[in-house]
Structure 1
Amino acid sequence: MTPLLVSIAIGTLGSILLHLTFRMLKSDWPTSYSDMKTVVDSASQRNAWLYVAMRFVPVYVVSVLVASMTNSAEANPFIALTVCAVLHICRTNLRPSVLRRVFRSSRNRPRYLAAFFSSITFIVLATFLASKTWSYWESLLPEPDQLVQAIWTSLFVGLVVVLVRSIGTFENNLDAQIKRALDDLGKSLQKKIREEALANKVSADFIEAIVLTECIQRPKWVRRAEYIKGRFIAPGSYGVAQVSSSSPISDEMSIELICKKYAGYYPVQNEYGSYNQTLLRVALESHNPDPIFVDQAKEILEARRSDIVESSSIWAEDGRKLIEVTHLRREGQEWVIVLTHSPDIDGLCMTTFARDGGEEESCIDRDIQEGTRSQNEIRLSIQVRKVEFKGVDTKNSTQELDSLTLDLEDPHID
């Protein structure tokens, strides 16, 4: 192999070692170098010198090893160090997701640019310093053969650690667990939960949280094993809802039974929409008293509920406000408003107030299954400064049930 190829190979090896080093540090320094927002926030909130050290020291140490190995192989240390630094920069700062965040217009752009260019500067400085000082560390480094063996061992161990940590991160990530549980549950059973919750006037979100938690803790293969066991030892917990039964039952039947058990129940909320944690825990414990189950079900219930931008004042039978705005954003010259309203309201009227003083009234069509909560997306001109929604009883159109006013001149809305 020519000295040039040896130099490139050693430089590439160094960049891989750097990548594994940062990946192994990922849990203590979230998403290490790839997520510029996390890096900047971490550095500014805790210690700016930590950011400098995490960028400079690993690059310097690996660059010293690369220069020593290249010199021992009678290749060109300058080429090897250049390859190592360039590959490391491409793998970190020049990733498309990082470039989009750094160079797009935003109020944090100066901070991102500062972090972006300072990190490149640290990499270049560390590489340059290593090229000038690596020989001073030569007496502390092992013999070339031992050094190569040690690096290969480190790479192997690093790959194993990164793999195990990635698997662990997946298992500890609530969003990933919920997605896995939803896939396990399937669309038809998700629909079954909504239908049975509606029929029994129980919170569908509450029932869904219980079922998803059971799917996480008892995946499909475990439930199948329990069902087979039930043919010989009948009493047990069965179905996606893990309902106690004297004999095996289907997933659909378990959903029906748990909805009947909690018929009429909606988690108690305060005026700000937060659940009463004590009463919620008591309700969950009546299904499964295991503290781990209860904590996870509570987390899932909170994670699955929609963020409420604004809501009316009156509570509906489903445990939510009669009218709720769940999303508000601007798209070009339009406001996009997503709102839901309870089946307790027969109709919904809207009044818009323009900046030029004009007012316009209209009705919002209800095109959803009777008895379920309606969701509508409304688009309004950017010239609308305020919009008011009113629930109306269609049998008595003069009776106003509830109302919600949304101020579109709120300075926090962009």
Structure 2
Amino acid sequence: MQDFLRTIIAGIAGGVLLNWFYAVLQSKWPDSYYAISSLVDEGISHSSLRYALFRLLPPYTIGVLVASFAIRFTFSIAWAIAVCGVIHLSATNGTALVRGIKSKEMSPRASIAHLATIAMSTIALIFAGFSARWWYPYTPGPDKYMEVALTGIVAAAVVFQMQRATQHRFDASAAVTDFRAHIDRDLIAHMEQECVRYQVDPDLMLAVLITEDKQRPDWFRRAEKLAGRFGFKGTFGIAQSSRDWRASDQQSITEAAKNLAGALASDDGGSWAHGAPLRYQLERHNKGATFIEFASEVYNAISSGYRARSQKKEPHGAISLRVFSYERIEDRWHISGDIADRFKHMVAASELQQLPSGFALDKTDSGLRTKWSTTIPISINRLRITGREVSDTGTEADQVSVDLYLY
């Protein structure tokens, strides 16, 4: 009887330890948008392998330790594993699943996420029970666990450091850079064309795509499509805007553009990028508070990522002239940006004179904008860059300019 109680206590301790582990890391992905401050959710969402390891390794490890106690006390491994599993799952995913079903507020996606987590934990614990005898010679005895328990102060300090290490401020600028580095250029071209078609601010649309892609990476979207074949209801595609699992990423972008139709920034350089006006536009795509917080930060990162930009905007909301970067290379400033395609002629001028700087021009994939770059002497610290539209008759029809301070 004494050995039985010891085994049950070991199972309870294992379940509690698992709950503590996941409570410290506070992972809520993928059943909801992960918190902007959560490095753990951001990390595990990038790969199906990472997420599987995150859900399988801790239960397996604790299961092996709990089963080793049962072996040591010559009692049933199944009892120890069962108690550990019940304690862990009933206090976490099981409770959340029952509460969600009773309240009828849980989405099918969240229900599937909880059931999948329960299944993975159960499989890991069962496998731990069967493989425990392999690990038994390497597991510590009860006396070693007591030594660890008596070092609680050190353990508490480690947990505190884990919390600090796994909580960070979401870097929206890094998210924008990462997205632009890996996204298919054809999708960006399609997005720009749909923004023209439905009169949507391209920066707003880009913020929506980055936010949804962060929460639903490509591998996860493929899994959703597979589930859609079997009747799973949800949103699909890179923009998470289509209800049809057969929808491509291009179709998903088109649906999102339709939902945001007419969402154009004001003509004062984009002052709507703060507060209620921006939230209102984002709510047209997704009313979730965390999505809006996430997307707002991304939108502001995109808007503030320009070294300079024109007040003038195109009819579809895109900024007419943007300066992306400038850097000093030896005795020259190297400057780059993009401009609406209708401005065919570009010049640069200092406060005193027009500069004989040549502009290298390269159309983007969508054909709606032209990338440009130029170099000027390092002695120039204030610059005006101008783009001019030339009519069929050769006369100047319109122009746009930005002032740039180089330092």
**TM-score of the aligned structures, taking structure 2 as reference length:** 0.52
For residue 342 of structure 1, what is the amino acid of its counterpart? A
2:279 maps to what in 1? 281
Question: 2-side partners of 1:180 and 1:308: how far apart?
Answer: 13
Pairing of 1:47-196 with structure 2 (within 5 A)? 153-169=152-168, 172-175=169-172, 178=175, 182=179, 186-188=182-184, 191-196=186-191
2:379 maps to what in 1? 383
Question: 2-side partners of 1:403 and 1:179: how far apart?
Answer: 26
Residue 366 of structure 2 is aligned to residue 367 of structure 1: no
CA positional deviation for 1:306: 4.6
Larger Rg: 1
CA positional deviation for 1:292: 2.0
Instruction: Check conservation: 2:207, 2:298, Cα contact below 8 A.
Output: yes
Q: Structure 1 residues 266 and 330, CA, compared in 2 at 3 Å: closer, same or farther? A: farther
CA positional deviation for 1:379: 1.6
Q: Structure 1 residues 360 and 268, CA, compared in 2 at 3 Å: closer, same or farther? A: closer
Question: 2-side partners of 1:204 and 1:366: how far apart?
Answer: 21
Question: 1-side partners of 2:287 and 2:376: how far apart?
Answer: 49
Q: Structure 1 residues 383 and 377, CA, compared in 2 at 3 Å: closer, same or farther? A: same
Q: Structure 1 residues 343 and 260, CA, compared in 2 at 3 Å: closer, same or farther? A: farther
Question: 1-side partners of 2:402 and 2:281: how far apart?
Answer: 34
Question: 2-side partners of 1:294 and 1:175: how far apart?
Answer: 13
Question: 2-side partners of 1:213 and 1:387: how far apart?
Answer: 35
Pairing of 1:152-301 with structure 2 (within 5 A)? 153-169=152-168, 172-175=169-172, 178=175, 182=179, 186-188=182-184, 191-201=186-196, 202-220=200-218, 222-233=220-231, 235-263=233-261, 265-269=262-266, 271-275=268-272, 277-301=275-299
CA positional deviation for 1:204: 3.2
CA positional deviation for 1:180: 10
Percent of aligned positions that are identical: 22
Question: 2-side partners of 1:365 and 1:182: how far apart?
Answer: 25
* Uncovered stretches (5+) of structure 2, i.e. residues with no partner: 1-146
Cα shift readout 1:107-160 (whole Å, capped 9, x = no counterpart):
xxxxxxxxxxxxxxxxxxxxxxxxxxxxxxxxxxxxxxxxx9899544343333
Question: 2-side partners of 1:283 and 1:307: how far apart?
Answer: 21
* Uncovered stretches (5+) of structure 1, i.e. residues with no partner: 1-147
Q: Structure 1 residues 160 and 334, CA, compared in 2 at 3 Å: closer, same or farther? A: same
Give the SS at the match of 2:299.
Answer: helix
Cα shift readout 1:157-206 (whole Å, capped 9, x = no counterpart):
3333323432233xx423498279839x9422x54033233244143322
Instruction: Check conservation: 1:337, 1:379, Cα contact below 8 A.
Output: yes
1:13 maps to what in 2? none
Question: 2-side partners of 1:259 and 1:407: how far apart?
Answer: 33
Give the ranges of 4+ consecutive aligned residues of structure 1 lying more than 6 Å apart after TM superposition: 148-151
Instruction: Check conservation: 1:342, 1:372, Cα contact below 8 A.
Output: yes
Question: 2-side partners of 1:362 and 1:208: how far apart?
Answer: 32
Question: 2-side partners of 1:272 and 1:375: how far apart?
Answer: 20
Question: 1-side partners of 2:178 and 2:374: how far apart?
Answer: 32
What RMSD, in angstroms, separates the aligned Cα atoms of the two structures? 3.7
CA positional deviation for 1:349: 2.7
Question: 2-side partners of 1:257 and 1:313: how far apart?
Answer: 29
CA positional deviation for 1:259: 3.1
Q: Structure 1 residues 388 and 223, CA, compared in 2 at 3 Å: closer, same or farther? A: closer
1:327 maps to what in 2? 325
Instruction: Check conservation: 1:197, 1:203, Cα contact below 8 A.
Output: no
Cα shift readout 1:321-362 (whole Å, capped 9, x = no counterpart):
4223343444443233333211231222334566xxx65445
Give the SS at the match of 1:237.
Answer: coil
**TM-score of the aligned structures, taking structure 1 as reference length:** 0.51
CA positional deviation for 1:363: 5.3
Cα shift readout 1:60-90 (whole Å, capped 9, x = no counterpart):
xxxxxxxxxxxxxxxxxxxxxxxxxxxxxxx
Question: 1-side partners of 2:221 and 2:404: how far apart?
Answer: 50
CA positional deviation for 1:246: 4.5
Give the SS at the match of 1:335.
Answer: strand
**Counterpart among 397, 401, 406 of residue 398 in structure 2:** 401
1:104 maps to what in 2? none
Q: Structure 1 residues 270 and 256, CA, compared in 2 at 3 Å: closer, same or farther? A: closer
Asked which structure has the greater RCO (Cα within 8 Å, sep 6+), the reply is 2
For residue 216 of structure 1, what is the amino acid of its counterpart? K
1:342 maps to what in 2? 340
